[in-house]
Amino acid sequence: MKLKISLVVLLGASSLFASSELVTKAKNAGLEPIPSSKPELMKLIDDKKDPITDAKVELGKKLYFDPRLSRSNLISCNTCHNLGLGGADGVPAAIGHGWTANPHHLNSPTVYNSVFFKAQFWDGRSPHLADQAQGPVQAGPEMAAPPALVEERINSIPAYVDEFKNAYGKDVKVDFAKITETIATFEKTLVTPSRFDKFLSGDSKALTKEEQEGLTTFIDKGCTACHTGIALGGTMQPFQVAQQYKFTNVGDFKGDKNGMVKTPTLRNITETAPYFHNGQIWSLNDAVKEMGSVQLGITITDADAAKIVTFLKALKGDKPAIVYPQLPESTDKTPKPSFD
C-alpha cells in the first residue's frame, strides 16, 4: 500500500513538474495569459484619457447593434462581427451594402479579444479599435454611411443624445469620432479568458494531458513565430514565407505595402471558420497543415495537426454575457434609409 501511495505521489509530482516546464516553455515562446484579475486586465485595455465606464459600454453596445448606422438601416457592426458566432460571420467574404461581397474577397475577422491586437484590419492600416471602427461604417461595400449621415441619424434621436451626455458630460459633441470611439469602448470589453489562461497562470490541471501535448507540438513546430502574445496573433507578419498559399489567387489582397499581413488570433478559432484572409479553408486541421507549408516550410502530419487542433480547442473562452439591447426610437427628423 505504501508503495502504491509513493508511486501516485511521484507520478503526480512528475506531472506537475512537466506542466511547470511547459508553462515556462510557452512563456519563453511569447505566449501570455489574459490576466485573471480585473485591475490587471484594465491596465491592458483601459485608456486613462477615455476611461471605460458602464455608461460608455452600454451606449457602445447599443451602437454596435444598431443597423441605423448603415445607409440601408439593415447592417450593424454585429452583422459581420456576430457575437453569437464567435465574433465573425461564418462566410468566406464579408457581405455588405446592396448584398455586395467584399471586393477583395476578405473574410471578417473576429472582434473578440481584438483589444489585444497590435494592428487592425488585414493590412494593419488602423492602430487601434477606435480608428478601425470608422472604416466599415463608411466603406461602400460594407455599411456605406458617410460620417455626416451617421451624425444626423444619432443626433436626431433624443434618447441617444441623452445617453451621450450621461456617458461623457453635458457638453459632449456627438460627432462621428465620438460615436465610433464609443463602439470601440464596448469592443474593448469583449475579452474571452479560457482554460489556457488558467494553465499559463499556474493551474496545472486546467489543460488535459492531450491538450498539453498539443501545446508542446504547437510550440515545437514553430507556430509561435506568428501566433504569440496574449491574442496568439494580432501582429503584422510576412505571409507566404516558404511556399505559396494554395488559394492566393482568390481575391486580390497581397498585404500591406511590404507584403505583411495581420496574423489572426487563435482564440475561439474553432468558432471562426472559414480561415485565412479570403476564407477558403473550412477545416481547422487543413488550416494547420497549410500554415506549416506556407509559413514554416514543413509538412505537418495528420497526427500532429490533430494534436495541435486539440490544443486550439482549449482556446475557446468564456464570453461576456451580452443582452441584446432595446434601441431608442427614431423620430420624424431621423434620415430615412436608402439602398443606392
Report the binding-site residues for heme c. Answer: 77, 80-81, 97, 223, 226-227, 291
Q: Which of 142, 163, 271, 290 is catalytic?
A: 142
Dihedral angle over CA of 201, 185, 112, 87, nearest 10: 160
In degrees and rounded to multiples of 5, residue 85 shows phi and psi of -125, 40
Instruction: Pick the closest to residue 43 from 174, 230, 227 (CA basis).
Output: 230
- Residue 200 has φ and ψ, to the nearest 5°, of -65, -25
Q: What are phi and psi of 329, to 5 degrees?
A: -70, 145
**Distance of alpha carbon 171 from alpha carbon 183, whole angstroms:** 19
Which amino acid is located at 4 in the chain?
K
Catalytic residue status for 142: yes
Q: Which three cell numbers stand for residue 268?
A: 475561439
Q: 274 preceded by cis ω (within 30°)?
A: yes
| Crossing angle of helices 147-155 and 129-138, rounded to 10° | 100
Pick out the residues of the known binding site. Answer: 77, 80-81, 97, 223, 226-227, 291
Helix 129-138 vs helix 176-188: crossing angle, to nearest 10: 120
Q: What is the CA radius of gyration of the chain?
A: 22
- Residue pair 260/238 in contact by the 8 Å Cβ criterion: yes
Consecutive H or E run containing 238: strand 236-238
Catalytic residues: 142
